[in-house]
Structure 1
Amino acid sequence: MTPEFVVGFARHAIETTLMISLPMLGIGMIVGITISILQAATQIQEMTLTIVPKIIAIFLALLFSFPWIMEKMVTFTTDLFNNIPNYIG
């Protein structure tokens, strides 16, 4: 294995991880910003008002994007296992 291969493989793994986590992070950010704007407008500074909606939104995003996430993970893992002989040689 060459250093270029290792760097390329690590890059592909990191890109896959970021792509998989993007729906949950995006929804959490949108909900967090929306709640923060509402808190600033109403001057209600309750911490549970921020955390609970984010948890629910992230859970729903995970629930709806789970089939896509599993497809990406299975594809990555299948490619990894199928190419093990190429990685060794």
Structure 2
Amino acid sequence: MEQEFVLTLGQRMLEVTTMLTAPLLIPALLIGLLVGMFQAATQINEMTLSFIPKLAIVGIALVVAGPWMLTTLISFTKELYQNIPALIG
């Protein structure tokens, strides 16, 4: 196994991981920020208040971006299987 191949594979795996997690994490972060600002403005210090909106937005994002995420993961897996002969010899 060549070092260049392993590094390229590692870089590609990190790229796919970032692409798959971004559609779920970014909306959750934004909703958390908005709920935090609301809590700070109204001085409501309820810890569970931000959980339900985050859960809802992640569910919506999963429904919207789920097919794209699945297609991306399947194409990456196919790419890995096609590179198995390069790993062996």
The percent of aligned pairs where both chains have the same amino acid is 38
Partner of 1:4: 4
Measured against aligned partners, the alpha-carbon deviations of 1:9-65 in whole angstroms (never above 9, x if no partner) come to 011111101110001000001100000111111111111111111111111111111
TM-score (norm 2): 0.93
Q: Which runs of at least 4 in structure 1 moved beyond 2 Å after TM superposition?
A: none
Report deviation, 1:86: 2.0
Distance in 2 (alpha carbons) for counterparts of 1:7 and 1:86: 14
RMSD over equivalenced CA pairs, Å:
0.9
Partner of 2:73: 73
State whether structure 2 residue 86 is matched by structure 1 residue 86. Answer: yes
- Give the paired residue count: 89
Q: Which runs of 5+ in 1 are unaligned?
A: none
Q: Which runs of 5+ in 2 are unaligned?
A: none
State whether structure 2 residue 58 is matched by structure 1 residue 58. Answer: yes
Distance in 1 (alpha carbons) for counterparts of 2:8 and 2:26: 26
TM-score (norm 1): 0.93
Distance in 2 (alpha carbons) for counterparts of 1:22 and 1:55: 15
